[in-house]
Amino acid sequence: MILIKALLLAWQLPQAIIGFLLSRGAERKRRGDVAYYQWKRRGSISLGPFIIVDGPASIDHERAHSVQSCMLGPLYLIVIGLPSLIWCALYSYTGLRHRAGYYSFYTEAWAEAIRRRRWPD
């Protein structure tokens, strides 16, 4: 089990380093089998094994992004992370929210599909 965790961490190393740095100063919490960090900033992010949220409502969605990270490894930041960050900024700070649903973007739609399959409401 330790070997598997070490290999998974190595596979996700770029995002794990960023997640580790961003989680500093956030409060570590637990909900069932999920460890996460709650920060005072607005918004949530998942980077490797680090799930950082502004409240418990987004834990399962961010957990699904962690699954994407396990699947994509070092490509996660290019395929999911950066596009998702850009989408979030555009959605939050432009009139885009009046024209499209947040989960209509491919990164978020895929995460929601994983969430519904693994942790149904």
Calpha distance 94→111 (Å, rounded): 23
Bridge partners (DSSP) of residue 105 are none
Q: Does the pLDDT at position 14 exceed 80?
A: yes
Calpha distance 27→86 (Å, rounded): 26
Q: Does the pLDDT at position 121 exceed 80?
A: no
Q: Does the pLDDT at position 95 exceed 90?
A: no
> According to the model, what pLDDT value does residue 92 have?
87
Q: Which of 98, 93, 67, 99 is nearest to 80 (CA)?
A: 67
Q: Give the distance, in angstroms, between the CA of residue 36 and the centroid of all CA atoms in the same chain.
A: 11
Enumerate the domain spans of the chain: 2-118
Structure tokens at 83: 């596009």
DSSP single-letter state for residue 78: I
98-111 tens-digit pLDDT: 888 999 999 999 99
> Which residue would you say has higher pLDDT here, 92 or 19?
19
- Amino acid found at 119: W
pTM metric for this prediction:
0.92
Average pLDDT, the chain: 94
20-71 tens-digit pLDDT: 999 999 999 999 999 999 999 999 999 999 999 999 999 999 999 999 999 9
